[in-house]
Chain A
Amino acid sequence: MHDSEISAITLSLLMGFCSVALNLVPGVATAWIFSRCTFRGKALLETFVFLPLVIPPVVTGYFLIRIFNQQSLVGAILNRLDVQVVFTWTGMAVAGAVMSFALLVRTVRGVLDEINPRLEQAARSLGYSPLRTFFKVTLPLAWPGIVAGSVLCFARTLGEFGATVMISAGTAGNRTIPLEIFHHYQTPGHETEMMRLVVVSIAISSAALVVSEMLIARLGATRYRPHHGG
């Protein structure tokens, strides 16, 4: 395997893990708010969060460049702090995170919706504050779903192409597995390199899917089932 392929695999995995790390806490918090709270403008906020799932990734990438370039307010502040986003792997990690955030929120929200909120009321009546209830009841019941959501978030980031290519410009050393595959595809005589990465890509994604399915099955086994009668 060439250095550029190793670098692409490393970069992809790094992006995947960074994306999960960036998204986990805000994602679970957002999912909890969507599942448990009602407030004005909630539908609007939901639309905004789920937008990256439906709009073309290239468009999202374009907006990220507009937000993070040095002429913008955010870019100027980050520049002062010596943080470069556009055309760096930091920017690629941000792109991956933005593209997969909605998927994490959706998965975790689905799991939270399945947890009987009356269980949380029962915990409150036993002397637990809302925060303590979250950590002692909600989180333990939701964790397989949270891990499954994280796996999906990781896999989504791994497959991300459109927004990543916008923010990284696809230059050498700045290519993730999909970008590297596309690069080899365009280069005559690089079929072997391309095929190797295709196999690696399938292997990583399949592994992620298997882990996710196992965790969802486990959640099904521990989900609360009310019993009536003997």
Chain B
Amino acid sequence: MIDLDFQLQRGPFTLDVSLSSDSRVTGLIGPSGGGKTSLIMALIGILKPSRGSIGIRGQHEFFNSARGVNLPIEKRRLGVVFQENLLFPHLNVKENLLFGYKRTDPALRRLQPEEIFELLDLGTQLDRGVGNLSGGEQRRVAIGRALLTSPCLLLLDEPLTGLDVNLRDRILAYLLRLKKELSIPMIYASHSFNDISTVADSVALLTVETNEHNRKHSRVSRLGHPLDILSEAAKVVSIGSIETVIEGEIVSTNPLTGHSVVHSEGLEMYVSPDNKTPGSRCYVTIRADDIIISVGEPPKLSSLNVWAGTIKAFENFQNTVVVTIDVGHRIRAALTEESVRELGLAEGMKVHAIVKAKSLRTVVLGSKES
């Protein structure tokens, strides 16, 4: 779908990109200053490659040095969410959201304002000025503004950077909602493996080499499933804590303990959300480091979440092993190599995954930002 094959020169910095991806969400991971933003700028048309081609297969050719094609920015129909949001300070939320929509040919409008206002829960914010929006609200307006041009591709440059953990979970949940509800392919650039592995279907890894003349050479070295490139990514970026995000519905709340039960396709999760309205859709984040694995039937535990499942895969990086367990959903647990050896874990083995309700983070979309 996305076809990139180009070289970009900027002073002592060279970026070589050869990347072809059919994924709904293609991740782009690399260290800060590794050329992620340059790659996005070349796609948008702000930076001009020295040679090569940029396009969407069978639909658009944005740049082709051999054929002398170089579409101006405004003709490329790419939705861009910039790192700094770049909302227009002289316009209110609604005017910002409709800024690009107004310039979009009515025949090409596939997304309608009401739909986007609802998806991003912006309906009640439309008359506000953008200067006093919270960080998360600004990001949502930036995403909505880009989507309302009905772009053929949505580019997200570090969309979760600079947000605290609550807002990060929230924006991540919105991105997962967009991925599920809309058919627009996305490129997601980030230096956080965790964010990318949660949203992206495949990930391209950007690596940087500095030669003896202090010239930096960046290239896309591999495209693969997020976990397949884990060990290579670990050499380039810090992996942090890997997470699994599961969408579900709050079915009941115990007023004594304050715990709510969330159902998602047969998986039952005990969580303690801020908003406990039964029937609400929510996104539950499970940190790989918080999961305990038990072989055989676990004894009586204080932990509420005890899920039976089957081990599906192992990925090693540094001293850590990421174990994928199917408990109705595929969740990831991080263990040390010693634990894996001592427990004798192997693919296909029946185990229990255990995690405290308090360790699970929950976002209910539509509720107020905290």
Contacts and interface: CB of A to CB of B under 8 A. Distances in A.
Interface of A: 116, 118-119, 121-129, 132, 136-137, 140-141, 222-230
Contacts of B76: 125
16 contacts: A116-B84, A118-B86, A119-B86, A119-B88, A125-B100, A126-B100, A126-B103, A126-B145, A141-B89, A223-B89, A226-B84, A227-B135, A228-B162, A229-B135, A230-B134, A230-B166
B136 interface: yes
Contacts of B135: 227-230
Contact of B103 (A128, A223, A225, A227): A128
Nearest to B75: A127
Given A123-B88, A227-B138, A229-B163, 14 more contacts: A116-B86, A118-B84, A121-B73, A125-B146, A126-B146, A136-B99, A222-B90, A225-B89, A226-B85, A228-B135, A229-B135, A229-B162, A230-B134, A230-B369
B145 to A, nearest CB: 7
Nearest to B148: A126
Contacts of B82: 118, 122
A108 B88 CA distance: 19
A137 B89 CA distance: 9
Contacts of A123: 88, 99
Nearest to A119: B86
B163 A124 contact: no
Nearest to A122: B86
Interface of B: 44-46, 72-74, 76-80, 82, 84-86, 88-90, 99-100, 103-104, 131, 133-136, 138, 145-146, 149, 162-164, 166-167, 369-370
B138 A224 contact: no
Contact of B78 (A125, A128, A225, A228): A125
A124 B89 CA distance: 16
Contacts of A223: 89
A129 B135 CA distance: 29
B241 to A, nearest CB: 20
A229 B167 contact: yes
Q: Which 7 A-B pairs have the closest CB atoms?
A: A126-B100, A127-B103, A124-B73, A122-B86, A228-B162, A224-B89, A125-B80
Contacts of B46: 121
B77 A127 contact: yes
Nearest to B80: A125
A229 B162 CA distance: 5
A141 B86 CA distance: 13
A106 B283 CA distance: 53
Contacts of B77: 127
Contacts of A124: 45, 72-74
Nearest to A127: B103
A230 B167 contact: yes
Contacts of B80: 122, 125
Nearest to A143: B90
Contacts of B133: 227
Contacts of A224: 89
Given A122-B80, A124-B74, A127-B149, A230 B164 contact: yes
